[in-house]
A = this chain, B = another copy of it.
């Protein structure tokens, strides 16, 4: 899988709030599928599918512990995403609209 394909699957995996919430959960440490499913009003197979998508993107790895399939976060694809995004950093730090936002914030702050 080349870099572009990696970005395809990583971005696609991240384009869903349930999957981002699962990653946030795993940032706290390893968790089972049931533990990951608990906060959601959604069937277990649905969560299982989301986990599969994250796994295919390389964002998590699944272990084996008796009947449990503990999931762990693998942040490497996030670094790939961050590196890609960084290409554009110079743009958003120099654009007028962003500058304007900063000036407005300064104004609001001084008004308090």
Using CB atoms and an 8 Å cutoff, list the residues of chain A in contact with chain B: 4, 7-12, 14-17, 20, 23-24, 27, 73-76, 78-79, 81-82, 84-89, 91-92, 95, 97-98
A72, chain B: closest CB distance, angstroms: 10
Q: Which of A14, A16, A73 has the most CB of B within 10 A?
A: A14
* Closest B residue to A94 using CB positions: B75
Cβ-defined partner of A85 (8 Å) among B73, B85, B91: B85
Nearest CB in chain B: distance from A99 CB, A: 12
Q: Which residues of B contact A27 (CB under 8 A)?
A: 87-88, 91
What B residues does A14 contact at CB under 8 A? 7, 11
Please report whether the interface of chain A is mostly helix, strand, loop or mixed according to DSSP.
helix
Query: Judging by beta carbons under 8 Å apart, are B12 and A17 in contact?
Result: no
Given contacts A11-B14, A11-B15, contact A82 B82 (CB under 8 A): yes
The CA-CA distance from A86 to B38 in the complex, in Å, is: 26
List, in ascending order, chain B residues with CB within 8 A of A82's CB: 82, 85-86, 89
